Chains A and B, each alone.
Chain A
Amino acid sequence: MATVIPAVPQISLQGVHKQYPNGTVALRDVTLAIPKQDFVFLVGPSGAGKSTLVRLLIREEKVTAGQIHVEGQDLSRLKRRHLPYLRRKIGMVFQDFKLLPNLTVFQNVAFALRVTEGALRHLKPKVEEVLSIVGLEGKENKFPDQLSGGEQQRVAIARALVHDPRIFLADEPTGNLDPATSWEIIQLLLQINARGTTVLMATHNREIVDVMRRRVVAIEGGQIVRDEDAGGYHAPALESR
């Protein structure tokens, strides 16, 4: 990649180990550094530990051993009451969109600003701004069930952008979408990345990863098995077969 890599990565994992209370080991000795403005695909089979890694980054889960730094903060030392402020720096989207069905498109996006006590007089222009970024002008008053899957994911992306996040995490964002719509969402993530936001996308979508030729981090059995710039979904050796 052409970007200059800063001395301190924006996201860094050092010897991260995660074991759930039921005994399942989700991650083993994971070390990873992601600099600012990077665009990373996190690939691997189901249950490999991709989602766990994403959950660790927003500290929905805590590491069992090792260290995670995000935006210069040590997540295991981050006090619970400071956690919301970390989350405002991270935009997140999921396979299942997590939209509130009883709120309109506008309200769903505004909700994120309201509950984080953003200034109300900036609310309308901000919501309109992010809705235009994701291309949903004119759909402000629709409810989620009146939208297609791709449009719903755009609403979720708009909501994640409303705090001008420095990091954008996408956990299987195209998992419920058809190929054409998936491409639209990827284009949107590229745009977001081009605006200076670091993007980490966990995905199963081989086609997208192969075409994009961005940095690929592959996880299997809780361990990083491959980390290459401009990589494909599978290791080069496998692809050549």
Chain B
Amino acid sequence: MHRLWNRADFAFSSAWQNFWRNAAVSIASVLIVWVVLLALGSLLLVLHSLDQIVALEKTKASAISVYLSDTTPLSSAMDFKLHLENDPRVTNVTFVSKDQAMARFRELPALDPSVIDTLGTNPLPASLDVTVRDIRDLGAIDQAVRNSPLVDRSPATNYEPNVIDKIILLARVAGVAGLVLIVGLTGLSVFIIMLTIRTAIYLRRKEIEVMKLVGATDWFVRWPFIVEGLFVGMIGAVVAVLIVGFGYRPAVVNLQSILIFVPLSFDQYYLRLVLAAMLCFGLLLGSVGSYLGVRRFLKQ
């Protein structure tokens, strides 16, 4: 027990001294860890949002809204609805009135209700929401309804065949670009932490020489530097975690006010996972960098 305590006490006090003895280099490594983790955390959250959007769009994909012109009488709309319901390719048709459309619009997150009130009249059309059995029939249905005189012209439907493909592509590109960025920054941070530890070793080389001479084990020599790396990783991680943790909600709200029609959401559970991952990754960066930094020296 006392051996463990002795080792821990020695490792922590040495690491603390080292950290401050070459404060400039230590702070540089803290900064690089911080940047890496900030990038990692933000990337994970952005990718998660894109995933959610893709999932949502996929569920919406088997349905289109057919917009009715404002002059269409309700009875004609109901006839049209019946006509569509008789189509074997269609599973369900729902009528959405102008008022219901407005109510839905108001529910969009981060939309200032006062903006809607200044519009005065309701500009939104009534619609028939048509769900099909097979997504591939959507194009044909879209073509068929466009020719009806009851249907609005601007736009006739919300059918956009490429939107899902585009979102999926965007998610992939963002994922790959982000991964490349993270891998590059990770390599850079491990390298910089390694240099920090080398500097620390250089400053303490006489002490280490004596330690080895009197019979200290490699791990006893190594621990203070690993702990110093963990300090660096932890400080960088904590700062990044605080920024991401407190910045996520405002970021979602602000983005939502710009991207009104993109369904962004605030996922508290996923955020916790990301923050935990950032902390672990920070500690990992610090310890791996230190281990590599000490390794070459101990091999001698």
A-side interface residues toward B, CB under 8 Å? 58, 80-81, 84-88, 92, 98, 100, 111-112, 114-117, 119-121, 159-160, 162-163
Contacts and interface: CB of A to CB of B under 8 A. Distances in A.
B118 interface: no
A119 B213 contact: no
B87 to A, nearest CB: 78
Contact of B210 (A98, A117, A119, A120): A98
B2 interface: yes
A111 B210 CA distance: 9
B24 to A, nearest CB: 20
A150 B42 CA distance: 63
- Residue with the greatest number of chain A CB neighbours at <10 A, chosen from B10, B210, B214, B215: B214
Nearest to B214: A112
Contacts of B214: 87-88, 111-112, 115-116, 159-160, 162-163
Smallest CB-CB A-B distances: 9 pairs? A87-B215, A88-B215, A115-B216, A112-B214, A84-B215, A84-B217, A115-B211, A117-B3, A116-B215
Nearest to B217: A84
B95 interface: no
Contacts of A115: 10, 211, 214, 216, 220-221
B2 A163 contact: no
13 contacts: A58-B213, A84-B215, A84-B216, A85-B215, A98-B209, A100-B207, A111-B211, A115-B214, A115-B220, A115-B221, A121-B2, A160-B214, A162-B214
A4 B149 CA distance: 122
A84 B214 CA distance: 8
Interface string B198-222: 0000000011011111111110110
Nearest to B210: A98
B81 interface: no
Contacts of B207: 100
Nearest to B211: A115
Contacts of A163: 214-215
B165 to A, nearest CB: 58
A169 B162 CA distance: 81
A117 B216 CA distance: 8
A98 B2 CA distance: 28
Contacts of A88: 214-215
Contact of B213 (A81, A85, A98): A98
Interface of B: 2-3, 6-7, 10, 206-207, 209-218, 220-221
Contact of A80 (B3, B6, B218, B221): B218
Interface residues of A, dominant DSSP? helix
A15 to B, nearest CB: 26
Given A111-B210, A115-B221, A163-B215, 11 more contacts: A84-B216, A84-B218, A85-B215, A87-B215, A98-B213, A114-B10, A116-B215, A116-B216, A117-B3, A119-B2, A121-B2
B159 to A, nearest CB: 70
A85 B217 CA distance: 8
B6 A114 contact: yes
A85 B218 CA distance: 11
- Residue with the greatest number of chain B CB neighbours at <10 A, chosen from A98, A160, A163: A98
Contacts of A159: 214
A160 to B, nearest CB: 8
Contacts of B215: 84-88, 112, 116, 163
A163 B216 CA distance: 12
A233 B209 CA distance: 32
A64 B119 CA distance: 92
Contacts of B3: 117
B251 to A, nearest CB: 48
A163 B206 CA distance: 20
Contacts of A100: 206-207, 210
A163 B214 CA distance: 9
Nearest to A98: B210
- Residue with the greatest number of chain A CB neighbours at <10 A, chosen from B7, B209, B210: B210
A88 B211 CA distance: 11
Contacts of B221: 115
A38 to B, nearest CB: 22
Contacts of A111: 210-211, 214
A116 B2 CA distance: 12
A80 B222 CA distance: 15
A87 B213 contact: yes
A117 B220 contact: yes
Nearest to A80: B218
A125 to B, nearest CB: 15
A100 B142 CA distance: 85
A115 B10 CA distance: 8
A57 to B, nearest CB: 13
Contacts of A58: 213
Contact of A117 (B6, B206, B209, B218): B6
